[in-house]
Amino acid sequence: MTTAVEHMAPEYVWTANNALVFTPRGMPPAAYPILLHLLGRQEPSGRCLVTQGTIAAEIGLTRPKVTRGLQHLAFARMVWKEGNGAYRLSPLIAGFRTPAEQLQAIEAMHDEDRFDHPDFQERYEQQIEQHEQEKRAKAAHRQKAVEPPIDLAARRRR
C-alpha cells in the first residue's frame, strides 16, 4: 500500500539562528528556555501567541520564573509584550518568509531597540537598575504611614 505525502511548505523559511549570541551577561537561567520556546512557536515576523501559564506548563517552569525571564528578555529588547498572551521577537532573531523581509524589519527598528549595539550590555544593566529603582519606590510608597481618615463628625461639631 502506498501513501501519498503532500508536500507542505513551512510557515517561514528564513531565520537568524544567532539569538543566544546576543544574550547579555546576567540573564536569569529561565530566560534561555523561554527564548528558545518562543523561537520555536513564532509566526512569521516573530509574533508569538502564548500565555505565561502556557509557557510555564510547556517548559516546566513556575509562572514567577517565566515572568522574570520574560522581563529580562524585554530588558534586553529581545522580546516585546504586545498584549495579553501576545509577544513579539526582535527582528534581529525572528523568523521571516524571506531574508528581504527580515532586512526591511531590521532597517525599521529604532536604535534603542537594537541589541547588536556596542553598548547593549550597559543598556541591559540600566534597564534592570531602573526596574529595581521603580520597585523600591513602590515599596517605599506602600510603607508610608497611612493618615487616619478625616473625622467628619468632629468637623461638624466645631
| Separation between Cα atoms, residue 67 and residue 85, nearest integer Å | 12
- Express each pLDDT in 117-129 by its tens digit: 888 899 999 999 9
As to burial, measured by CB atoms within 10 angstroms (0-12 exposed, 13-18 middle, 19+ buried), residue 24 is buried
Residue 145 is predicted with a pLDDT of 67
List the end-to-end C-alpha distance of the chain, in Å, as a whole number: 99
Q: What are phi and psi of 68, to 5 degrees?
A: -65, -40
pLDDT band at 89 (very low <50, low <70, confident <90, very high): very high
What's the pLDDT tens digit per position in 47-66?
A: 999 999 999 999 999 999 99
Percentage with pLDDT > 90 across the chain: 54
**Mean pLDDT confidence for 113-118:** 82
